[in-house]
Amino acid sequence: MMLVLFFLIMIVAGGLIAFLIREQFSDADFQHSIVGVWFNERLNIRILMYDVDSVFQGSIVWADSLNNSILGTRVVKNLRIGFFKICKGTYVDPVTSKEYDVKLQLKGKTIMKLTAFDKVTHNKAFSQEWTLLKS
């Protein structure tokens, strides 16, 4: 009986170790998927998402002629990957400078869903999808 219990514990421990190793390597692939130039739903701005020590930032690198004044504005701050590859950080509206708590999720390889929440009430403020600019 003790031998069966020992083998059962070893199998569970081995499975857990394999899962954690797989998650560690898939996180690196996931981080790589976030980095790039994304454009918003209206196609009027492009955001460069970049990684500094596994903390992501996003700045506007292109804007249509009506939005030239927001070029260079950082709209995503301190985005970190959490459980189930859900990223949380801060979104800054480039026009009003209002800050929101934000949750980003990849939907496939080229679509990222951004959901913004009011920092005080935590109610959903808005949601949009960004598309990866193909090179």
| pLDDT in single tens digits along all 135 residues of the chain | 777 777 778 787 776 666 555 554 445 566 778 999 999 998 899 999 999 888 999 999 999 988 889 999 999 999 998 877 889 999 999 989 999 999 999 988 899 999 999 999 999 999 999 999 975
Concatenated DSSP letters for 42-106? TSSEEEEEEEETTEEEEEEEEE-GGGGGGTT-EEEEEEEE-GGG-EEEEEE-TTT--EEEEEEEE
Choose the CATH number for 2-132 among 2.40.128.520, 1.10.1060.10, 3.40.190.10, 2.60.120.10.
2.40.128.520
Question: For residue 125, what is the DSSP state?
Answer: E
| pLDDT at residue number 20 | 55
Q: Tell me the two tokens of residue 5.
A: 């219990």
| pLDDT at residue number 16 | 67
| pLDDT at residue number 25 | 46
| pLDDT at residue number 29 | 64
| pLDDT at residue number 17 | 66
